[in-house]
């Protein structure tokens, strides 16, 4: 890329074609995100500056990012951030990158809690804080407690709370599932725990396998190791009529429903994702449990 001068339009076109040939899922978008980062522009501004000529230093810096992406490093890790529910989140290799299908969990959680005056919500396995902080932002009267097992991950979640101005509405605890929760009960507990069956891990995209934390993905032999431990005894943290909302590996729905019923909760519904797979499970604690 150094032998000729490049303008924004040309370098984007060349990079997009190259990313496309290499099988990246969204070549144009990713070419734009990386170039906007180098030029310190918003993505839309690239279009206003289509004829801008890049300096050799800018071309070199861009080439470095393009090479990282070609090595399958996720764009979110290259940029150090990912948008989720229209909010910017810092992400690092210690945190799973928030997925678009998890926004559906936030939609549902908001519907369940929007009529409560002061909803108390827990997010177990919060990662970078995407679910917890999207809920806190959209429910200004709520209080959200978030737990994660990984100290490095929890630090990122706390930084995101600070950046989003949500520290007074949120609390973060280091620990295993519900273990750090004190004697309190919630209106809603949500979780997107590691749920990929161990033997399926190798079949995930190379971007995921090579770069994302396996700790946040590996659900054990059948994908339910973590949910088995979470659901067992979860009732004591739920108020009467409170909800449990989980993102799951769709094939585990039936088995998970059994766990929910064994815990004395009422299965309410499964909610499909954009690919029509049962990605979420909603359960409720009966009034007299
Ligand atoms: N949806 C993620 C994936 O398939 C898995 C997230 C999880 O295990 N909680 O990459």
**3-class SS of residue 189:** strand
Residue 192 Cβ < 6 Å to ligand 1: yes
Residue 115 clears pLDDT 80, i.e. is over it: yes
Q: In terms of C-beta density within 10 A (0-12 exposed, 13-18 middle, 19 or more buried), how is residue 96 classed?
A: buried
Q: How far is the CA of 142 from the centre of ligand 1 (A)?
A: 27
pLDDT over threshold 70, residue 2: no
205 CA closest ligand 1 atom index: 10
Task: Give exposure, 113-144, as e/b (b: 16+ Cβ within 10 Å).
Answer: beeeeebbbbbbbbbbbbbbbbbbbbbeebbb
pTM of the model: 0.94
Instruction: Determine which residue's CA is closest to atom 9 belonging to ligand 1.
Output: 194
pLDDT band per the 50, 70, 90 thresholds, residue 274: confident
Answer whether 196 contacts ligand 1 (Cβ < 6 A).
yes
Residue 56 to residue 125: CA distance in whole angstroms = 44
3-class DSSP state for residue 41? coil
pLDDT of residue 81: 96
Ligand 1 atom closest to the CA of 125, numbered from 1: 9
Whether 153 lines ligand 1, by a CB cut-off of 6 Å, is no
- Per-residue pLDDT of 148-201, as tens digits, reads 999 999 999 999 999 999 999 999 999 999 999 988 999 999 999 999 999 999
Report whether pLDDT(86) > 80: yes
Q: How confident is the model at residue 288 (pLDDT cuts 50, 70, 90)?
A: confident
Pairwise CA distance, residues 201 & 38, whole Å: 33
Whether 193 and 219 have beta carbons less than 8 Å apart is answered as: yes
Alpha-carbon gap, residue 204 to 188, rounded angstroms: 31
Residue 142: pLDDT over 70 = yes
The ligand 1 atom nearest the CA atom of 193: 9
Centre of ligand 1 from the C-alpha of residue 195, in Å: 6
> Does the Cβ of 99 fall within 6 Å of ligand 1?
yes
At residue 262, does pLDDT exceed 70? yes
Instruction: Say how far residue 36 (Cα) sits from the centre of its chain.
Output: 23
CA 194 to ligand 1: nearest atom: 8
Beta-sheet pairing, 143-148 with 170-174: parallel
Q: Which two tokens stand for residue 287?
A: 């009034």
- pLDDT at residue number 3: 57
Q: Is 102 in the pocket of ligand 1 (CB under 6 A)?
A: no
- Could you give the CA distance from residue 257 to residue 265 in angstroms, rounded to a whole number? 9
Q: CB within 8 A of 58, min separation 6: which ones?
A: 38, 39
Q: What residue ranges define each of the domains in the chain, with the CATH number in brackets? A: 8-71 (1.10.8), 92-284 (3.40.50.150)
Task: Give the burial class of 212: count Cβ atoms within 10 A of its Cβ; 0-12 exposed, 13-18 middle, 19 or more buried.
Answer: buried
Please write the tens of the pLDDT for every residue from 218-234.
999 999 999 999 999 99
């Amino acid at each position: 890329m150094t032998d000729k001068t490049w303008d924004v339009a040309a370098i984007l076109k060349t990079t997009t074609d190259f990313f496309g040939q290499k099988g990246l899922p969204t070549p144009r978008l990713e070419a734009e995100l990386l170039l906007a980062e180098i030029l310190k522009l918003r993505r839309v501004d690239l279009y206003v500056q289509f004829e801008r000529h890049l300096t050799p230093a800018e071309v070199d810096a861009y080439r470095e990012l393009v090479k990282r992406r070609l090595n399958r490093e996720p764009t979110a890790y290259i940029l150090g951030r990912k948008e989720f529910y229209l909010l910017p989140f810092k992400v690092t290799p210690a945190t799973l990158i928030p997925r678009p299908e998890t926004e559906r969990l936030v939609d549902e959680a908001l519907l369940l809690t929007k009529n409560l005056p002061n909803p108390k919500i827990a997010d177990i396995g919060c990662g970078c804080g995407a679910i917890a902080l999207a809920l806190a932002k959209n429910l200004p009267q709520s209080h959200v407690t978030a737990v994660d097992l990984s100290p490095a991950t929890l630090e990122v979640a706390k930084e995101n709370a600070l950046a989003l101005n949500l520290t007074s509405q949120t609390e973060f605890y280091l620990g295993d599932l519900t273990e750090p929760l004190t004697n309190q009960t919630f209106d809603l507990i949500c979780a997107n725990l590691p749920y990929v069956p161990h033997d399926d891990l190798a079949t995930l995209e190379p971007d995921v396998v090579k770069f994302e934390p396996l700790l946040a993905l590996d659900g054990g032999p059948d994908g339910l190791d973590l949910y088995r431990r979470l659901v067992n005894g979860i009732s004591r943290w739920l108020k009467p009529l409170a909800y449990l909302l989980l993102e799951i590996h769709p094939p585990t729905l039936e088995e998970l429903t059994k766990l929910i019923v064994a815990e004395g909760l009422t299965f309410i519904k499964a909610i499909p994702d954009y690919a029509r797979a049962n990605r979420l499970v909603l359960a409720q604690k009966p009034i007299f449990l």
